[in-house]
Chain A
Amino acid sequence: MNSQNIYLPYKMRIEKITEEAPMVKTFKLAFVNPEDESNFEFKTGQFGEYSVFGAGESTFCIASSPTHKGYIECTFRKAGKVTTALYNCEEGDIIGFRGPYGNNFPLEDWEGKSVLFIAGGIGLPPVRSVIWNCLDLRDKFKDITILYGAKTVQDLVYKNELEEWAKRPDVKLITTVDPGGETPDWKGEVGFVPSILKKASPKGENAVAIVCGPPIMIKLTLPILLEIGFTEESIFTTLENRMKCGIGQCGHCAVGPYYVCKDGPVINYADLQLLPVEY
């Protein structure tokens, strides 16, 4: 008779807060109830509804990798009502989390292939989950290349991890900032992501690309990926429409008959082109 209330969030304790960039924070969240933790499973690319009681819910990806058990992480920029309330939270506070929702990156299909990650600004968090997932299963993939750009050096998120990836011999990391965004001691590239991609031109054969960032970056990056040999089926992105329920009911994220929350958010470029441009 009494079915589960799908809107009841898990209670999560904020274990650690990292200030990533201006207005951007990462929360490390642990389940308050141990049984919730043991029942919880997710796959990379999935997202959740994070809530501050009294302010409401906000949608973003799970930024940690499913290979890292016992906690989840999320990274968000202070923008609206809920993210502002989250931004003001302190370590030890309890927030709500519903999820995981949506589909995931098809890592099994990528085995034996090279993986190219391209992220811009606050587009790195969803990609970071996949990066760690791939790195934790490093043997299964060929070359791993990460191209990450932000407006300024200050705007780069996960600075410690960028250093860690840079040191790894099994990862090729290219970081770049927009012209004018560099500091005197900046050692990375200066230029927009699409032109840096063209310069680096990693091989598209037997490879997949994951692209996440501002719409304009995605738009200008796609043609270059096709140029250097990636196929439409091998380019993946994650859509970000306004969402409320996360389960294909509230209607907000619908792009034609496709629900970003249920049928997405992960989609390849071939499928993306079949949708009306309402994202």
Chain B
Amino acid sequence: MNNYKLITKQNLHSFFDALQPKNTIIAPKEINKKYYFKPVDKFEDIALDYIQTVLSAKSVLFPRSDTLFNYHRADGDYNIDEPSPIEKNTIVFGMKPCDASSFVYLSNFFLKDYQDKNIKERLEKLYIISLSCKEADNACFCTSVGSNPASTKGSDLNLTLIENDTYYVEVVTEKGQELINYSADLFQDTKEIDKSKYIANVPQKFDVEQAKQNIDSIFESPLWVKDSLACLGCGICAYACPTCTCFDIQDIGSQFNGSRVRNWDSCAFDLFTKHASGHNPRPVQSQRWRNRIKHKFEYSVENLGLISCVGCGRCIRSCPTSMNIVKTVQIFQGV
């Protein structure tokens, strides 16, 4: 339904002020020269010229710890209540196009066979305003996984800074139009423009179709060990990743009162696959790294028809041992 508008930076401020009272707004905020998605209530707090946040915005949909229900023991029986997963409509303001596209994957994943209630209710109240990238860094590789720094995939509204003080606005969905309607007079109609000259140049680092094929065909290879010797098996890559969805289910509380909670988990952890007997189907780190790569480029394609990597580069930037998914893909592509 794309239609096109312009808004000045000053009016964007006013637009924010119009949205703010009725919605929860999550936006990138600078903390000690790093960027994190945080709830904001002032436009000035939003970082509009960042390259990437440390952690993705997936927690808006799929929080680090998510209460599935609460239980209370009474007269030998249990009463169960379900807290509302989301109160107000939530707008993520200024996420990058790579992140916006991750929400397409997430919604496919969580609503495919079994509809996850918490995720579904949050998605219904979620609005995404993405911001095309002016700048990129070495870790960015969206163009290698079928996207680009101004992609509108997954966004409700997409903003591209075209001149110093003016944003080109693409209204991508009905939800985007709903947001515009908060203060439509701040926007000015325009025609479709070529965004390419206003956005970052992100060189393509591998051919995704080729990568899928190569990774598909290689399970046993000494390269998996060689390439993963540095990996120490922490959970940063999975926790920073906008499309990693693995989780654990645990009870918090006593036998009388408590909650059943879904926590993030990572296939990089030794415990992830370990049986109660002590047997571990993936006993060493190279097998866990292989699982991560193959899941991103092979298994999720087989199961959902989508690769589960959006090229945001977070895993590369945050890995304490500089593990690099791009390098791995290139190795298997023989680049």
Contacts and interface: CB of A to CB of B under 8 A. Distances in A.
A and B touch in the complex (CB under 8 A): yes
Interface of A: 1-8, 11, 32, 51-57, 79-80, 83, 92-94, 96, 215, 240-242, 244-245, 247-252, 254-257, 262, 276-279
B69 A8 contact: yes
Contact of B116 (A83, A244, A249, A278): A249
Contact of B114 (A8, A57, A249): A249
Nearest to A6: B114
Contacts of B282: 278
Contacts of B303: 257
B69 A7 contact: yes
B41 interface: no
B77 A94 contact: yes
A94 B265 contact: no
Nearest to A32: B77
Contacts, number: 127
B182 interface: no
A191 B48 CA distance: 73
Nearest to A83: B276
A278 B295 CA distance: 14
Given A5-B68, A7-B68, A7-B69, A252 B287 contact: no
Central interface residue in B114, B219, B256, B302, by most chain A CB within 10 Å: B114
B213 to A, nearest CB: 15
Interface stretch (B16-24, B29-37, B169-177, B242-250): B242-250
B80 interface: yes
B298 to A, nearest CB: 7
Interface in B186-222: 219
B267 interface: yes
A52 B276 contact: no
A185 B241 CA distance: 61
B249 A7 contact: yes
Most buried by B among A4, A53, A83: A53
B71 interface: yes
Interface centre among B247, B251, B277, B291 (most CB of A within 10 A): B251
Contact of A262 (B109, B113, B249): B113
B82 A5 contact: yes
A273 to B, nearest CB: 13
B43 interface: no
Contacts of A11: 77-78
A273 B117 CA distance: 36
Nearest to B68: A7
Contacts of B71: 53
B7 to A, nearest CB: 32
A254 B299 contact: yes
21 contacts: A3-B120, A5-B69, A5-B118, A7-B249, A32-B77, A53-B251, A55-B251, A56-B251, A94-B78, A241-B281, A242-B272, A242-B275, A242-B276, A244-B248, A251-B246, A251-B265, A252-B248, A262-B113, A278-B287, A278-B291, A279-B281
Contacts of B76: 92-94
Contacts of A52: 255
B280 to A, nearest CB: 9
Contact of A257 (B78, B113, B298): B298
Contact of B249 (A8, A56, A79, A93): A56
Contact of B279 (A5, A215, A244): A215
B275 to A, nearest CB: 6
Contacts of B267: 251
A237 B251 CA distance: 31
Contact of A3 (B77, B78, B117): B117
Q: 9 shortest A-B CB distances, which residue pairs?
A: A251-B246, A54-B255, A257-B299, A257-B302, A7-B68, A278-B281, A79-B276, A56-B251, A247-B114
Contacts of A251: 245-247, 265, 267, 272
B117 A2 contact: yes
A210 B252 CA distance: 39
Nearest to B282: A278
A255 B281 contact: yes
A125 B262 CA distance: 29
B254 interface: yes
A248 B256 CA distance: 30
B253 interface: yes
Contacts of B166: none
